[in-house]
Amino acid sequence: MSLNFLQNGLGKMKIITINLPEKYLQAIQILNDMGVYPSRSEAIRIALHDFLSNELKMFKDLDDESFKMLIRSKSNKNS
């Protein structure tokens, strides 16, 4: 997985707060300490990207506008 894709392909980053089991955080920290990922944030971004790619097969193929239209469509159905 190219780190440049994640950093350059997704636009502006937003800060969020998440709660993780201690075991997950320790595993992420070990990977970070080993140099597998440059930061815990990057490890989580890559894991989330992989999850979304698997869950939403078309995720990689959508341009920004198409993705936004899909999200708006989903939001309107839930209203």
- The pLDDT tens digits for 52-78 are 877 777 666 666 777 777 778 877 776
- The DSSP-derived string for 28-75 is HHHHHHTTSSSSHHHHHHHHHHHHHHHH-GGGGG--HHHHHHHHHHHH
The verdict on pTM exceeding 0.85 is no
Enclosing domain of residue 54: 20-78
Question: Does residue 36 belong to any structural domain of this protein?
Answer: yes
Question: Does residue 67 belong to any structural domain of this protein?
Answer: yes
Question: Does residue 71 belong to any structural domain of this protein?
Answer: yes
Question: Does residue 3 belong to any structural domain of this protein?
Answer: no
Q: Domain total for the chain?
A: 1
Model confidence band, residue 6 (pLDDT cutoffs 50, 70, 90): very low
